Amino acid sequence: MEFDDAGWVTGHITALRIPEAWSLLSPTPEARVDAARWAHVAASFFRMSLAVVQAKAYPSGTLPLVDALEVDLGPREGASTRVQVLTFPIERAPEVRAAALQGVAAIGGAGMDALVARARRVWQVASAVPGQGDARMPLAMAAVLASTFQAPIVPPDEVTIFGVKGARTRLEARGFRT
């Protein structure tokens, strides 16, 4: 990926396929990255360190329609893993909305239908990690974003939808204590 002087990705961004990402449906329409807030949420609620690799700037209050970034995430003491995050308006990812609705049907609604209906933006965390990275970190990043945006998560590997509690349960099942 290449970035301009404001830290915004240059070039075309395409939504990842459902099996390639943890997809979040945010009611917040803006593509603003608040690195300090994300780091605070990661530290306070998940006992992790988080650093956004590409510093983002929003000159004159403008925001990108689509964006991408890399985040280094890991336990407070230990190696971090770089994860890729994409964001775009929900209209650009009808397959994510369809997968979310399938997940809602699979769990019998449980209020997630209302959250999907309010969604304005998709945030995706690529499920693949480079090299010897910790394969749990994309889910951990999705948990941080879900907590930050109050966004439900559509997983890459099952037909369901869940929130922060479901993410914590899955992280603990993978041996990661939050």
> pTM of the predicted model, to two decimals?
0.95
| 41 neighbors 162 (Cβ within 8 angstroms) | no
The boundaries of the domain holding residue 54 are 2-9+17-174
Give the total number of structural domains in the chain: 1
Secondary structure (3-state) at 129? coil
- Per residue in 111-165, pLDDT (tens digit) is 899 999 999 999 999 999 988 899 999 999 999 999 999 999 999 999 999 999 9
Output the pLDDT for position 77: 86
pLDDT-derived band of residue 61, with 50, 70 and 90 as boundaries?
A: confident
- DSSP type of residue 17: P
15, 87 contact by CB (below 8 A): no
Q: What is the mean pLDDT of the chain?
A: 95
